[in-house]
Amino acid sequence: MRWSAILKRLALIPPTLLGVGAIVFVLLRVVPGDPIAMMIPPGASPADITRMRALYGLDQPLLSQFITWLGQVATGDFGRSISLRQQVFELVGTRLPATLELASLSVVMALLMGGAVALVGSLMRGTRAEWLLDTANGVFLAIPDFLWALILLLGFGVLLPLLPISGRLDPQLAVAFRTHFYLIESLLTLRLDVAADLLRHMLLPSLALALPFAALVARLLKAQLAEAEDQDYAQIARTRGFSRTTILQREVFPNALIPTVALSGVQVTLLLGGTVLVERIFSYEGIGNMAIDAVINRDFPLIQGLILTFAVLFIALNLAVDLLVALLDPRLRHG
């Protein structure tokens, strides 16, 4: 990808975010329901309701509200949560690291599992073992991440209680973290007991997110490996006496990796969206779990801030994947 193409992609980010923000802003105010009525105690006077509406700017015309909100966002002010009574920017900042750590672990697990299954399936091409792997892969791909979350919750929470099924960290191990990246900080400070407990809490939700993704990676990579094995360079290497394993590692796998990375990049954004339900099921303290609470409470400022955060993450991930593909394939850098 050339620098001009990168600059064009970067130039599209502000109008994209503006469009997302405008759509969400209007939809939240068109849908029936009053967030102020949901947060005030029973018996509140009309004066109290009027005062609360004025406090959050909900007594202003829609266009005026949008312009005010847009001006605040431009300065980094996402407003104040109606239900939690805190700044949205601070709330997102405390929960976003948890989701990023969970999603990162899920992606690593998915790539390792999917890559291993694809390689084993390619080496066993034409055998019953390949058929069994393809069948199992189809089952894993057909079950969505939230259903995997329920299956794992039932299996390891009820039938075989080996792992924690809720929360992010055992309260007895809570330490004074300087950042909200608990896992990274605990590893850097050599608090391995804390890191181990964090990983135990992350294992089931990350596995629920990783399993469908791993199945997709395995299917894509295996198909690309089969196609690459039929190319001329692989045939020539075979006539020179190289073993199939050597050809697969040195010639076929690098060429099959590029389209797999490109196609898997889309799935990474879907995985990030899947954190909303999975975090809720495991009571994991990320922005996905927070988003459901915000929707239930009709917390306009918090919903708007969270959706913009997800939009920025999706855009950044897509750009990163494109750059990675261009890095792996020199033709895209010069073409």
Residue 228: strand, helix, or coil: helix
Q: Does pTM surpass 0.75?
A: yes
Angle at 11 between CA 9 and CA 13, to 5 degrees: 75
Residue where the block lists tokens 């502000």: 14
**How far apart are alpha carbons 207 and 265 in whole angstroms?**
18
Domains of the chain are 3-75 (no CATH), 96-287+307-333 (1.10.3720.10)
Better-scored residue on pLDDT, 42 or 294: 294
Confidence class for position 333, pLDDT limits 50, 70, 90: low
Q: Are 319 and 9 in contact (CB under 8 A)?
A: yes
**How far apart are alpha carbons 157 and 163 in whole angstroms?**
7
Whether residue 74 has pLDDT greater than 60: yes
pLDDT digits (tens, 9 = 90+) for 129-152: 889 999 999 999 999 999 999 999
What is the pLDDT at residue 297? 86
What is the pLDDT at residue 38? 66
CA-closest candidate to residue 153, choices 329, 283, 319: 283
What is the pLDDT at residue 206? 96
Averaged over 10-26, what is the pLDDT? 89
What is the pLDDT at residue 214? 94
What is the pLDDT at residue 250? 77
CA-closest candidate to residue 309, choices 149, 8, 98, 63: 98
Whether residue 327 has pLDDT greater than 80: no
pLDDT digits (tens, 9 = 90+) for 217-266: 999 898 888 888 888 877 787 788 788 778 877 778 877 877 777 777 77
Q: Kindly compute the dihedral angle of the four CA atoms of residues 38, 43, 44, 47, in this order, to the nearest 10 degrees.
A: 130
What is the pLDDT at residue 334? 55
What is the pLDDT at residue 325? 77
Residue 87 pairs in a beta bridge with: 80
CA-closest candidate to residue 20, choices 303, 279, 294: 303
What is the pLDDT at residue 208? 96
Residue 178: strand, helix, or coil: coil
The residue type of 79 is: G
Averaged over 206-210, what is the pLDDT? 96
**How far apart are alpha carbons 40 and 48 in whole angstroms?**
8
Instruction: State percent of the chain over pLDDT 90.
Output: 42
What is the pLDDT at residue 235? 79
| Tokens (6 digits) for 236 | 């020539």
